[in-house]
Chain A
Amino acid sequence: MKTVEQIKAAIEAAVAGAGVEVVPNPSPSGQHSLRIEPGRAVEVARFLRDDAELALDFLSNVTGVDWLDREIEETVTETRTVTRMVDGVEQAVEETVEETRQRIEPGFLEAVYHLYSVAKKHGPVVLRMRTVNRTDQVELPSLTPIWRSAEFQEREVFDLYGIIFTGHPDLRRLLMWPGFKDHPMRRDYVEPDDFEYEPTAHDRVLERALAHQAASEAASTAAGEKASEPAEAAEQQGTEADA
């Protein structure tokens, strides 16, 4: 079995502009992965499947990962030129400043593919693809035309993570029902408040019950105020008319 670096070299020799990058895995499992550019993913996948030496004919696992926006604090040392009064004369002086900056690294969705070879009995080779962001540019090319086993698994990733696989022949929700709106496996998914009283109330159930009660009371008072306003207005009008 080739190492990830050798596979990377083989892909780059075969597919121009594949943009392969090795993602090291610090865990003892040693399963390093290859990140590929979504634009050339189908060509890369076809090469991996059809190459005589790699022969990765079996796509075992397809899954999504949600990476949220990350706040990164970094200390930056910067040298800049400042004009300053030195001995009564305005001069340009080099000044070195150390600053702590907060940078937000935008989140993305990731699709991970685990490949094995049935013919050569080796593997896994891990492929990853990233979307541009988590909100509006979430398209990735589907690898179902290359490996049929991605069919249901990509549908599942679409359903639970919201990655849109372009070129998938039948991209529908797999597990949630068709009218469902959100993607429940995202890290920032909030469960709807469909609280039902359970007779065996645990602490968490009681907490949810109180929160639910407060929310529904607030909603009913808001609705009550709205409903009572026109009635009052009508009364006032009535009294005015009487007068």
Chain B
Amino acid sequence: MNRRIAFRNARLIDPASGLDVKGGLLVENGRIADIGPRLFNDADPSDPEIINCHGLVLAPGLIDCRVFTGEPGAEHRESLESASAAAAAGGVTSMIVMPNTDPVIDEPSLVDFLMRRAAATAKVRVLPTAALTRGLLGETMTEIGMLQEAGAVAFTDGDRTVANARVLRRALSYASTFNALVIAHAEDPELVLNTSATEGEFATRLGLPSSPSMAESLIVERDIRLVELTGARYHFGQISTRASLEAIAAAKARGLPITCGVSANHLSLNELDVGAYYTFRKLSPPLRSEADRAAMAEGVASGLIDVIVSSHEPQGADTKRQPFASAAAGAVGLETLLPAALAVMHDGRASLMHLLGALTTAPARIFGLPTGTLAKGAPADLVLIDTDEPFVVDAEKLHSRARNTAFEGRKFSGRAQKTFVGGECVFDRAR
């Protein structure tokens, strides 16, 4: 079988090589076989299936580095299948899923289970992370070597911080033995205990229990010291404050193997968006001041923030229709990741090439993936993007099972039109 698909009349953007030209791309057997400005320009190729891109952007499929699903254990909120449908609709071709499930992904057999379930049910690639500590309890390290062999791409306690510095030190030291990537969640667990907002005037007016934003940078600074001691590859899953960014900038300048991400939520919203106790905007970490939000946009533009993530976290009415302080944190985001990133371009803060890099090439580099590029021979994970199509976010039209978007009613310009994984079309907005 030699299945060929020809994309013609596209604006090809490959952040891996800096390519931005009009041209064509040929897919053969699920891989990119050819690419170039003159490909399919003059004459239509005779045999392949032809997709006329009408000048839209054809880019590598997005890699979302921070996705929570409910499988296993809470499939009523989100399964791998439903999350993957949302991913495909958002132009996301690879989801890196967090181990915060029931049971926790802390055993090689569970990594294997997750990969088999994904292969059987998911439309996009699912790359499992495994817990850094058993049961996410922050007490004893997991079998990092065997979990890595089973297919875990990184090690993390997901939305939990390893509070004990001795445990983290040894886990990092052990992880570095296997050159394993560790992903951190930076929130001092004691400072943020039972709080739901960022300490400041707004939280005071609303009367919400709150934690200082330094609860994040405190852990960022601690972890940087531990990385310096152990040499582990370290990725801050999502940061949200200027102080964290400054600490990471200094660490990067010292040559430490540290990278970081920001969620589309923290890039687009600030604490005022909580408005009248709007629980769909209760997040972990909580939304920050406008100054911190602006710092995140600057960080993305300067490249100090390596990746933009959705931090997709499905919740149901049971966990969200609660008073703000009692409601669960988190918002779905697979379908709004690309539009939120494009908003930074429309604001004139960063180029399309740069933003797509933070969604494709940078995650591929951090996680050591063969995707995130339009290079010949790479898997044909592609997204066709209309960067200007205006639309209003409507929770009812989301593809994910959970509908707790933080962007309900938000006007965006630009979103995915078609999505391909290994050359297979997994989403077509026209259909």
Does B associate with A?
no
